Amino acid sequence: MNELLKIALMKGMEKQGKEVDIKPGNYNVDEVVTLRVRGTINRGEDYEQAPTCNIPLLATMALFLEKAGFQRELCKTLMVDAMQEALAGNLEGKATVQARLKDLEGAMEHVREITQELPKKPCKGACRAKIVVETVSAN
């Protein structure tokens, strides 16, 4: 099976896989299936970005609090408050946050400045596919 067909199958079955719900347990599978796979795949160019998702959160928090020195307790309180608010709901774009932050864009600019200081990480280009997978025959 070539790489293109593997990607087509993964992308084509992605939605179907999300709709399937099985109970916890171990299952044996031994099926012979003939499929028809058709559609298009578009892969974007590779790029670089700040590795924000790869930052070890707990280690970063520990280092931040250690560097805070005598303001450690205040920073800890602020950090817990911010995390609890973020966990309470998706804050991005919410009117309540926009009302609280008089300058939401200014706050986000500070975040962008911080993340721009991080070393860039190579990333694969996005892979978009419009694939239809049809079962032709099954055991």
Per-residue pLDDT tens for 28-56?
999 898 999 999 999 999 999 888 888 89
Higher per-residue pLDDT: 92 or 34: 34
Residues 31 and 70 in one domain: no
CB-CB contact of 7 with 129 (8 Å): yes
24: pLDDT strictly greater than 80? yes
Residue 61's closest CA among 78, 44, 48, 38?
78
How sure is the predictor about 83, in pLDDT bands with cuts at 50, 70 and 90?
A: confident
64 and 103 assigned to the same domain: yes
Number of domains in the chain: 2
Q: Is the pLDDT of residue 114 over 80?
A: yes
Q: Which residue has the tokens 């032709």?
A: 136
Give the residue-averaged pLDDT of 79-85.
86
Domain encompassing residue 103: 56-109
Please identify which residue in the block is written with the tokens 């499929």: 35
0.85 cut: is pTM over it? no
